[in-house]
Structure 1
Amino acid sequence: MTVHITPLPEPIAPEAPGGGLGALSTDKGNLPLDSVDVHASITGLAAGIEVVQGFRNPFDVPLEATYVFPLPNRAAVTRLRMEAGDRVIEGRLKERGQAREDYDNAIAAGQRAAIAEEERPDVFTMRVGNILPGERVTIRLTLNQPLPYEDGGATFRFPLVVAPRYIPGDPLDDAQAGDGVQSDTDAVPDASRISPPVLLPGFPNPVRLSIGVDIDPAGLPLSEIKSALHVVAEESAEAGGKTTVRLQPGERLNRDFILRLAYAPQETAALALTPDAQGEEEGEGTFTLTVLPAGETRPQPRDVVLILDRSGSMHGWKMVAARRAAARIIDTLTADDRFAVLAFDNTIERPRDLGTGLVAGTDRNRFRAVEHLAAMDARGGTEMLSPLTEAAALLADSTADRVLVLITDGQVGNEDQILAHLVPRLQGVRVHTVGIDRAVNAGFLRRLAADGQGRCELVESEDRLDEAMDNIHHRIGSPIATNLSLHPEGLEIVPDTVAPRRLGALFPGVPLVISGRFRGAPSAGAAAAAVVVRGDESWEQRAAGVAAEDRANAAVWARAHLRDLEDQYAVDGGEELERRIVATSLKFGVLCRFTSFVAVDTRVVTEGGTSHKVVQPVEMPQGWGDAPVDAARPMMATQQMGYDTFSVKSVRGRSRAAMPPPGGGYGMAPRPAPAPPSAPPPPAAPSAPSAQSGPPPAAPSGPPPSTPTGPPSPPRPGPRPASRPPLQPDADELDVPDFLRGDSASAESAESAEPESYKILPAPGIETAAETLAQVRRELGQEFQRLTQFAAGDTLQARAQKLRDLLDKLEPMVMRLERVGADAALVAPLRGLVTELQAVRSGEGGEPPNLERLWGQTTQVLADFVGAGGQSQRGSKRAFWKRGS
């Protein structure tokens, strides 16, 4: 049993000094993760990074902590080390299923263990088990990454938080792959592994963050260092030209850490040859080719499709920046160009009077498009696949220079599904992505741009937008050269090892960086080797070989090559490709999605068995606090219906939120007392159209309604609600344990209690009665399955707990049905069941309830309501992220 936020047994003070909405404190301390230290050493255009995560157990029982965290998407993770007291254990890289088996066996045997797994190119999971009470365990990760260099500057970007992501698709029926707050779906089979619970705003800083960056220009003329989103202190060494940048104390893990280094270009081409270390493959090594092209773009007619994300997560400054970026791109078009603008959330909208196809870039048409953008605001869900597919179709038969531009924060979970569907349709189309966010999904946007042979530009603030748009203006134009190919001289390039797999196109100010494996280094030295890059229009450039000793080059190449193979696997699949990915990962010691680092202490420290499990909640990304909820899948804190809503999830067919068990928990707002059944629901705040089952609602005519952009409503004053009376079995059958009353937390109750649930109620008039009825039928069908599965072996305590959980879910469902005017004959039995369960919970009537009768009545009402259409049967998708679990 895993709890996302676990209450401590001691009394909790709801109004701790320095606290805020949802701030809770105890004398035992804070969450398991208490520190994150990042130290980077930048040399020229490469960085070596050590990430240190400190976990402390504030409980009086052994703890297993789970932390979902980001790393730079181009970084190669090459080492894991676990430290606990006088014990230091080096991690070993293994096939993912084997690593999980080793970890689970160690935890069951009472040994300390840690495992690091990759979920996405920039999302990872760390599990640390059998942390003793009061003990601190330190995990050290070693990374190597290249720094992207464009337009005279390099960027060091270190992400610090995994932002909530939109999860499309229908829930799968089998066990969840992870412990997150979103359900696995047929579109995102590992959604529960990339959706950690999120702290409410106002919770005191739970994690001490430290970042230090040592910068050695390595002979390059470094003229300026800028921190984009953080205040930093800068120290310069007396000699050597080295600089150290340190983050000011007290910052939170709620946005990317970004340093921009202004370098002047020195060379137009370079080829670094790094032979393998002695004892490895003789005569082989890794090459890194860098070409900074000279020349100008060749103007020619273009067909441009501009796709703008207007979903709920784009609220606030991101929507303003996205509109400005789109308008700037439209202004670059000429009458010789054709274009289309697609704005999407759950539906796709186009500027009025511009039709559904490509139109000429005349003054009138461009004005219509910009006018449409000016009236646009954020709303709804991030259904990204449909507009990308439509854009590819619009460009399919074009004979002009074809360009697709996507402006978004990239916060989706179905990256693999999008790439698998889209890449075969992108032949001959250049895809440029513009990522706008302070915690952007850079991994996905760079993958999409690379597959589309375009560029990715990241914008973290409005201040950065103008500079970024100048760069994008050059990318939208025709490239200097396309159809690139490599021609080695004096050495052999190992087939199918070049990364990136698609060489892309050459743009002004953007170096082409290619790496791969070579064999047959010339005996006369590296200078005898060279690589010539050729493109169309007779363009070519030659780079002479230079010997290099940096062993990180092999790891950086392996990471890029593995990323290409993983993207190929997402499109094509296949066991042979899987075996190749695993073999490459293990050979070069670089973590990937098919392998894991696992560290197991040989010392037995506990009796084994089941540990107390906590999933570390993460920060809400900066700037998201006042964003509206995604209508289709709410994933962020907001004020709606007069109470705090949060992180709704459907787990094994039951909707629930990332909320604490009765009595509250770390950083989470206590659940308010339920309204009496006869009271009408309070009016809902305006929200986006719902994406419940059935066809999407038609787009409203005219400009969309404005979304409030002010700060969220302040928390309501008042004492914390008292815990609710429980459902209880007959008094003569058994004694009711304390955990059913919500009074205390024994070890047994911690393992059996489920988090509270909320349902976010959409605004009146958004859903139709048929859509709502179908959605509630599905949800209650899954709830019925949960109630009755293995019910024969349930104790009366377990059934009481199940009924109590059911009431939390059933109340808002009935309110939804009543509000949209669903058939009263269908709703009446559900309302009667809610009323009876509420009466039992409140202790009305005096007599102890007959639990068996109540159980039978509940299951019968649900079975009658669900009928034949209640429970959908979908096939489960077993994938590599579930193996060994």
Structure 2
Amino acid sequence: MVNCCGLVTVKNEPVPLKGAAVDVCVQGHVATVTSTLLYVNGEERPLEAVFVFPLPGECALCHFSAKLGDTEVVAKLQDKQKAREQYDDALSSGHQAFLLEESDQSPDVFQVNVGSLPPGESAAITLVYISELAMQADDALLFCLPAVLNPRYTPQEMDRSKMATVTSVPAGRVPYTLALSAHLSSPQPISKVESNCALEPLVYLNADKTQATVSLSSGHVFDRDVELLLYYQDAHKPTAIVEGGQDSTEPGSFMGDHVVMLSFYPEFPAAVTSSLSTCGEFIFVVDRSGSMDCRMHSGKDAKMRIESARDTLLLLLKSLPMGCFFNIYGFGSHFESFFPKSVEYKQKTVEEALKKVKGISADMDGTDILEPLKHLYSQPCIPSHPRQLFIFTDGEVGNTKQVLDLVKLNVNSHRCFSFGIGEGASTALINGLAQEGSGHAQFITGTDRMQPKVMQSLRYALQPAVKDISVDWDLPDAVSVTTLSPPLKVLFHGQRALLYAQLKGESDSPPAGGSGPDSLAGGGGEGRRARGGGPEREAAAAQPAVWSQQHTHCLHRHPQGQRTGCAGTIAPQNHTNPK
């Protein structure tokens, strides 16, 4: 078991990190991130090292390489068992070898066995991943570079030997600085860039302000998450970005065909969004484990996580509509509820709940979220009051897949809205809860943007779900389309949707100007149809791995028994000695 984040020995001893450089390339709503980390073995003996690092739970890792002295190792995707065997064979033969594996229980934790690092030698590790940028309540796109992951609590019945858990690095103990630069490109003009860290001035690269660069100020200490908020003009204007097929690849293959990425903001008629009663059953599940007594971030003025959860819950409670039902659960190593069952929202019950919320604390030890969820799903739903589940947690669990499987199994009885509290919250858990529960995810790392995020989730919860979503494509006769994205489960009024598709066939019209999606439709309340207008087509070069990213998303949604083998593991390949 590995208990640190970064490069460590098999005995859990940290290998010193000497520097970190990150290049971010943003195209529209997608970011390609290249990170290079330099480590040095200062010991007098070789070290068998393990590299544990956090990645966004929805990202696609598309490159990993390491250079040890004069030897460079470039990774290749292989079957998991075959990769492990090849790694063991390479080590036993005295060769340098790397093995990269995703955690079996937490998809946002990757572990790399880097083999033997000789005394005094340096190891330069480079990884490239692609991730969609989350849309915020104020229409900003959020890029987050996680500094650390929080420790993960594992229930006793789980096999801890199969997990890679990590602990956070205390603020002020990070002996290196981070250099980060970002190149931004968008069909719409870029209005501004904000950050929780000091930035150099934004530099525009063209007259229409659709391309720009920005970087962290020099000397930035990487002791907290780095967040960039990107603001585009006409943020709700649908766009389609087309990537041409590779000339060196056979037409008709995945890489030989055009791929389109569509960003869509459907607007549904008022008759649909107001047709169903907004009164539902609201169940709030609050993490009260010991880790919630930690600070939200490393700043001196940072609140405790449990304080932020209390503030978020108080705001939601005061904003619920009359006539609904509600209840509040707290969980840790055990769980308890404010009321034996959900009660009607009226002055007496609200005042009682508000008083109890102000008194909750992080006093329930571990983070076992599975048991309260099992209990909730065993309770009957209230007729004519759709169940809306709100979960507040720092995500410190080691059985993420079990939790998500349970939510998915019960998706027809509720919608799930999740809140990640504090820096380092598990993106795999928080985003996964919302995806499997047909809800919406939010991450709260400070007080500055808490209220709009909370109210956005409540607005979504008060809307009827729009389901049975389909996309109509307007294409030339010689061109066909294959959707690469997993089916959209649910959409809310004004919510962004990203769709990916592969275009097959030839046409005299360029893909960006003469073809594309005509409209998006879905069934709202009582079977009504909701429709949004088609996007303006704007030609722009998309990242070469856009399809790879969405294909990875599809793999993530396969049943667990099918996923392990096909998702694969990156194993040592292409050993080269640079001249």
Q: How does 1:323-402 map to 2 (within 5 A)?
A: 323-351=310-338, 354=339, 356-379=340-363, 380-394=365-379, 396=381, 398-402=383-387
* Alpha-carbon distance between aligned partners in 2 of 1:202 and 1:506, rounded to the nearest angstrom: 39
**CA deviation vs aligned residue, 1:829-848 (integer Å, no higher than 9, x gap):** xxxxxxxxxxxxxxxxxxxx
* Alpha-carbon distance between aligned partners in 1 of 2:112 and 2:377, rounded to the nearest angstrom: 38
Match for residue 165 of structure 2?
A: 195
Match for residue 112 of structure 2?
A: 126
Structure 1 position 288 matched with structure 2 position 261: yes
Structure 1 position 307 matched with structure 2 position 297: no
Q: How does 1:435-514 map to 2 (within 5 A)?
A: 435-479=420-464, 481-490=466-475, 492-494=480-482, 498-508=484-494, 510-514=495-499
Does the 8 Å contact 1:302/1:338 carry over to 2? Answer: yes
* Alpha-carbon distance between aligned partners in 1 of 2:517 and 2:204, rounded to the nearest angstrom: 37
Give the alignment partner of residue 409 of structure 2, picking from 402, 424, 434: 424
Report deviation, 1:168. 0.5
Match for residue 238 of structure 2?
A: 269
**CA deviation vs aligned residue, 1:756-804 (integer Å, no higher than 9, x gap):** xxxxxxxxxxxxxxxxxxxxxxxxxxxxxxxxxxxxxxxxxxxxxxxxx
* Alpha-carbon distance between aligned partners in 2 of 1:398 and 1:562, rounded to the nearest angstrom: 38
| SS of corresponding position for 1:484 | strand
| SS of corresponding position for 1:535 | strand
**CA deviation vs aligned residue, 1:473-493 (integer Å, no higher than 9, x gap):** 322221573332223343544
Report deviation, 1:308. 1.1
Does the 8 Å contact 1:80/1:597 carry over to 2? Answer: no
Q: For the structure 1 residues 134 and 71, does the alpha-carbon distance in structure 2 shift closer, same or farther, using more than 3 Å as the test?
A: same
Report deviation, 1:346. 2.2
Q: Which moves more between the two structures, 278-287 or 370-379? A: 278-287
Give the structure-2-normalised TM-score.
0.84
| SS of corresponding position for 2:555 | helix
* Structure with the largest fraction of helix: 1
* Alpha-carbon distance between aligned partners in 2 of 1:486 and 1:90, rounded to the nearest angstrom: 39
**Residue-pair matches, total:** 537
Match for residue 176 of structure 1?
A: none
Report deviation, 1:498. 4.1
Give the alignment partner of residue 556 of structure 2, picking from 552, 555, 566: 566
**CA deviation vs aligned residue, 1:666-718 (integer Å, no higher than 9, x gap):** xxxxxxxxxxxxxxxxxxxxxxxxxxxxxxxxxxxxxxxxxxxxxxxxxxxxx
Structure 1 position 112 matched with structure 2 position 85: no
Structure 1 position 214 matched with structure 2 position 182: yes
Does the 8 Å contact 1:500/1:515 carry over to 2? Answer: no
Does the 8 Å contact 1:67/1:126 carry over to 2? Answer: yes
* Alpha-carbon distance between aligned partners in 2 of 1:439 and 1:432, rounded to the nearest angstrom: 19
Amino acid at match of 1:282: G
Match for residue 298 of structure 2?
A: none
| SS of corresponding position for 2:322 | coil
Does the 8 Å contact 2:266/2:531 carry over to 1? Answer: no
Report deviation, 1:48. 2.0
* Alpha-carbon distance between aligned partners in 1 of 2:141 and 2:366, rounded to the nearest angstrom: 34
Report deviation, 1:385. 1.1
**CA deviation vs aligned residue, 1:93-138 (integer Å, no higher than 9, x gap):** 2222222222222222222222322223321112222322211121
Report deviation, 1:600. 5.7
Q: For the structure 1 residues 428 and 485, does the alpha-carbon distance in structure 2 shift closer, same or farther, using more than 3 Å as the test?
A: farther
Match for residue 214 of structure 2?
A: 244
Amino acid at match of 1:236: V
Report deviation, 1:260. 1.2
| SS of corresponding position for 1:423 | helix
* Alpha-carbon distance between aligned partners in 1 of 2:145 and 2:171, rounded to the nearest angstrom: 24
Structure 1 position 539 matched with structure 2 position 526: no
Amino acid at match of 2:165: S
* Alpha-carbon distance between aligned partners in 2 of 1:86 and 1:383, rounded to the nearest angstrom: 47
Structure 1 position 38 matched with structure 2 position 22: yes
Q: Which runs of 5 or more residues in structure 2 are unaligned?
A: 2-8, 295-303
Q: For the structure 1 residues 55 and 360, does the alpha-carbon distance in structure 2 shift closer, same or farther, using more than 3 Å as the test?
A: same
* Alpha-carbon distance between aligned partners in 1 of 2:121 and 2:574, rounded to the nearest angstrom: 17
Does the 8 Å contact 2:146/2:424 carry over to 1? Answer: yes
Does the 8 Å contact 1:451/1:502 carry over to 2? Answer: no
**CA deviation vs aligned residue, 1:719-777 (integer Å, no higher than 9, x gap):** xxxxxxxxxxxxxxxxxxxxxxxxxxxxxxxxxxxxxxxxxxxxxxxxxxxxxxxxxxx
Q: For the structure 1 residues 398 and 493, does the alpha-carbon distance in structure 2 shift closer, same or farther, using more than 3 Å as the test?
A: farther
Does the 8 Å contact 2:281/2:382 carry over to 1? Answer: no
* Alpha-carbon distance between aligned partners in 2 of 1:144 and 1:416, rounded to the nearest angstrom: 22
Structure 1 position 596 matched with structure 2 position 565: no
Does the 8 Å contact 2:306/2:361 carry over to 1? Answer: yes
* Alpha-carbon distance between aligned partners in 1 of 2:153 and 2:359, rounded to the nearest angstrom: 24
Match for residue 299 of structure 2?
A: none
Q: How does 1:770-781 map to 2 (within 5 A)?
A: none
Structure 1 position 259 matched with structure 2 position 228: yes
| SS of corresponding position for 1:340 | strand
Q: Which runs of 5 or more residues in structure 1 are unaligned?
A: 7-29, 173-182, 185-189, 583-591, 604-885
Structure exhibiting the larger radius of gyration computed from Cα positions: 1
Report deviation, 1:463. 2.9
Task: Give the RMSD, CA atoms, in angstroms.
Answer: 3.0
Q: How does 1:709-724 map to 2 (within 5 A)?
A: none
Match for residue 631 of structure 1?
A: none
Q: For the structure 1 residues 340 and 434, does the alpha-carbon distance in structure 2 shift closer, same or farther, using more than 3 Å as the test?
A: same
Amino acid at match of 1:543: G
Q: For the structure 1 residues 74 and 374, does the alpha-carbon distance in structure 2 shift closer, same or farther, using more than 3 Å as the test?
A: same
Give the alignment partner of residue 4 of structure 1, picking from 1, 11, 26: 11
* Alpha-carbon distance between aligned partners in 1 of 2:330 and 2:173, rounded to the nearest angstrom: 38
Give the structure-1-normalised TM-score.
0.56
**CA deviation vs aligned residue, 1:350-385 (integer Å, no higher than 9, x gap):** 22xx4x222211122122211111110002211101
Report deviation, 1:406. 0.8
Percent identity reads 23
| SS of corresponding position for 2:307 | helix
